[in-house]
Copies of this chain bind each other. A is one copy, B any other.
Amino acid sequence: MARIIDVAKHAGVSVASVSRVLAGLPGVSEETRARVQAAAKALDYRPDLAARRLRSRRTDTIGLIVSDIRNPFFTEVSRAVEDMAYEHGQRVILCNADEDPEKEAFYLELMRNENVSGVILSPTLPLLSHFKAADYGFPIVLVDRCERGTEADAVVLDNLDAAYRLTEHLIERGYRKIACLYGAASATGQQRYEGYSQAMMRANLTLQGRALRPAVAEARGATLELLGGRQPPEALIASNGLLLLGIAEGVRELGLICPAQIAVAGFDDLPWVRLVDPGLTVVAQPTYDIGRAAIELLLQRIAQPSQAVRRVVLRGDLIVRGSTAARAATAPAGA
């Protein structure tokens, strides 16, 4: 493996000049520059990143800690982050906390040891509850999850608004008994439940919420239970793609026809939602924009560590499909 000194000798210059050329710094004659580049190429020289980082005290690396890599939402966000990061000369370390606060702590610790220039994080609920970006030795931007008073830069969906509109849509279509299954493990789930609640209360309807662990089986179980009881709801809302899948499974298991017997709606425009019988009505999230906004916030925070906390709130896109077609039968039109 060729080292910088080999390149210097080959080019007949000092290591300082080689370093300057490779870093693209000014103050090098054209001739020297050319000779160094030729030598580097001839020797297939590649700088030792460990040495460079040690000396320069910069890693040009950002950490991305997602709470669940199996969730397509985070997969998409991570693609955006990666694309943007490399455009800005930053490497990305992608970590999956698996909704486990311990793993999350482990990775945050790792980020510190790695001396990353910054971190993008979708925090678990316990961490978020007392989260302060200033507690860490590096810049942090939150994505997807963040509470009202959280002292950190963040990029989130307007969860309350999106859930409100989704619920309102159901109400407009004539549904009255609407239940909401939401993720108990994230701030996002709670905010979406809040949006549902406000829309229901505004229409003087009775709330029916179920806080669940973010797992398909949980939603499936809750669906079977709700729809099997007396006074079953006319519509079911899920606060994320996982729970939506569970609802769809439960509905199918009971052999109910959607939307005639049960309307269904949720979050995340996943590949399969248009496949399920009449197509599922969902709020689509602008995943790529979320990722891009996150890295932009982070880069600005790195450049200006002490600037005021900023928050980017994006709007969800309501996509109406057959699963929430207007309720034909019994609905009394009375507001």
The residues of A with any CB-CB pair to B shorter than 8 Å are: 46-51, 53-54, 59, 69-70, 72, 75-76, 78-79, 82, 91, 93-94, 96, 98, 110, 112-115, 216, 245, 248-249, 252, 271-272, 274-277
Contact = CB atoms under 8 A, between A and B. Distances in A.
A94 B81 CA distance: 13
Given A54-B54, A272-B272, A275-B276, A113 B47 contact: yes
Contacts of A51: 50, 54
Given A49-B113, A59-B50, A216 B96 contact: no
A165 B216 CA distance: 30
Contacts of A276: 272, 275-276
A72 B249 CA distance: 19
Given A50-B115, A82-B96, A115-B49, A271 B216 contact: yes
Given A47-B113, A50-B115, A51-B54, A78 B82 contact: no
Contact of A75 (B70, B249, B272): B70
A115 B49 CA distance: 8
B54 A50 contact: yes
A69 B75 contact: yes
Contacts of A113: 46-47, 49
B271 A245 contact: yes
Given A78-B69, A272-B275, A110 B91 contact: yes
A121 B248 CA distance: 35
A288 to B, nearest CB: 12
Contacts of A72: 70
Given A47-B113, A70-B72, A275 B78 contact: no
Contacts of A49: 113-115
Given A248-B275, A275-B275, 5 more contacts: A46-B112, A82-B96, A245-B271, A272-B272, A277-B277
